[in-house]
Every structure is written in C-alpha cells, then in structure tokens.
C-alpha cells in the first residue's frame, strides 16, 4: 500500500474517534469481510457527526486496509484484521532506515519494550502458570542442547537460537494484543536472522539459557521487579552483541 508512506499519527479528532469505533466493530467481526457498512447518512445519525467527519473516518479505515470506499456506494469491509496495514508499516520502517546498525538496534529496542511490558503485566495476573510453564520448558530445552553445542554441533546451535526466538514470542504473546503481536511478527524476523550470525561462546549460551529459566521462575512467582530486571539483562546482552558485530 503506497499510501503507507504518508500516514502520520491521527490526532484525537471527531473523525479519529469515529474511525476507532468502526475499526473496533470490524476487528471484532460485527461487520465481516465483504459486508457493507451502514450508509454515510446512517453513520452520520449514529455518531451525531458531519458528513465530512464520516468521510475522513472512512479514509482512515481505507488507509489501514480495513474498508473499500467507492463513490456513491456504501463502504465495504475489506478485511477483519490489520495484517496488511502492519506489514506495510513494517516495510516502510525498514526501508526508511539509513543504516543496518541503526535498524538492528531499533529492533532490539522493539523487542525489549514489548518483552518488558508483557513480563510486567503478565507477572501481575492471578493465573500465570500456563505461560510460565511454557517459558521454563523452552529454557530446559535450550539447556539440553548445550552439550551438543560444546561439541561444535551447528545444528544444535540453530535449534538453540530457534528456541530463544520462541521464548520471546511466547512472552510477548502473553500480552494478548493482536496488533502488537502482528507488529512483532513482521519486524523481528530480521533481528533474529542477524542474531544467528553473531559469535557466541559456550559460556555465553549457557548463561542465556540459565537466565531464561530464571525468568520463567520469577514470572510464575509473580516477582515483577525481578522478571523485568532479568528481561532487561538478557536483551542488554543482545544489544551489546549488535554493537560488537558492527565494530568488527
């Protein structure tokens, strides 16, 4: 979607609030793909808005790939998710970066922000066991690969890095925010492909798997400050590896 390059954050205007309301109805599938929205006159009455506000709201939804707007016809729902919007946004972000180093460091920051937010929120939930169990299981699997990695088994190293990516995804998905999940899924594979090219010592990988196990334990115990601190430590190490690679 070429229009993505010109999209800017929307101000809290009447049209933006109307767009947000309609968007919520589309994402919750009150209106499904292929179905027409109410006419502009009906929307004017529903929201107590001017025709201009309704038109602007529909343009915002069209820019996100959620609706199709044709002259003289009712707007039609194009999609019940923001995948196209997020993919285009991700592509624009990547294209607009001036250097690989800045892009990778920014992606580390994206992962850090999302992981810290998810860990903080999930550690405060009453039932933390499902995600905590999954994270500890992944950490154990990483630890079980260490002997083979010590024996210089490249396949074991690849499996280790795949499990590390799964760990972060599982943590971030605990926030139950489909938009953030989609942003992460579109942006972070580039980071992960770079991480695989970094040079790690056996002891560094051993330390990483141990720290991931600690995160799972702290999450299950509801130790919010400890969880956040551990996540920051592991991702600060990743940032240091990026700096090290580009210095080289």
Token couple for 182? 């989609």
Residue 2 has pLDDT above 70, yes or no: no
Sorting pLDDT into bands at 50, 70 and 90, what band is 95?
A: low
According to DSSP H, which parts of 2-99 are helical? 14-27, 40-47, 51-63, 83-95
Token couple for 113? 């922000």
Residue 29 CB coordination number (10 Å): 12
Is the pTM for the entire model greater than 0.85? no
Q: What is the pLDDT of residue 4?
A: 33
CA 43 to centroid of chain Cα atoms: 32
Residue 6 CB coordination number (10 Å): 8
Q: What is the pLDDT of residue 160?
A: 95
3-state secondary structure 213-236: HHHHHHHHCCCHHHHHHHHHHHHH
Query: Distance between CA 204 and CA 237 in Å, rounded?
Result: 10
pLDDT digits (tens, 9 = 90+) for 107-156: 888 888 888 888 888 888 888 888 899 999 999 999 999 999 999 998 99
- In order of start, what are the domains of the chain with their CATH numbers? 2-83 (1.10.10.10), 99-247 (1.20.120.530)
Taking CA atoms, 134 is separated from 30, 75, 83, 199, 207, in Å, by 33, 43, 26, 27, 19
């Amino acid at each position: 979607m070429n229009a993505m390059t010109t999209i800017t954050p929307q101000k809290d205007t009447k049209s933006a609030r109307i767009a947000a309301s309609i968007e919520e109805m589309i994402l919750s599938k009150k209106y499904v793909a292929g179905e027409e929205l109410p006419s502009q006159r009906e929307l004017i009455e529903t929201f107590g808005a001017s025709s201009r506000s309704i038109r602007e709201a529909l343009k915002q939804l069209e820019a996100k790939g959620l609706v199709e707007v044709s002259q003289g016809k009712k707007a039609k729902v194009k999609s019940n998710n923001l995948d196209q919007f997020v993919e285009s946004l991700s592509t624009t972000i990547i294209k607009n970066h001036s250097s690989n180093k800045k892009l990778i460091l920014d992606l580390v920051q994206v992962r850090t922000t999302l992981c810290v937010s998810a860990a903080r929120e999930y550690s405060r939930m009453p039932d933390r066991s499902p995600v905590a169990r999954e994270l500890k299981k992944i950490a154990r699997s990483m630890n079980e690969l260490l002997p083979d990695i010590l024996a210089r088994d490249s396949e074991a190293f690849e499996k280790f890095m795949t499990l590390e990516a799964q760990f972060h995804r599982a943590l971030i998905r605990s926030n139950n925010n489909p938009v953030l999940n989609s942003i992460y899924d579109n942006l972070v594979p580039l980071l992960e492909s770079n991480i695989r090219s970094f040079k790690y010592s056996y002891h560094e990988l051993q330390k990483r798997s141990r720290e991931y196990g600690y995160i799972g334990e702290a999450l299950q115990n509801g130790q919010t400050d400890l969880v956040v601190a551990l996540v920051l430590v592991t991702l600060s190490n990743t940032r240091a590896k990026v700096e090290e690679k580009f210095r080289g």
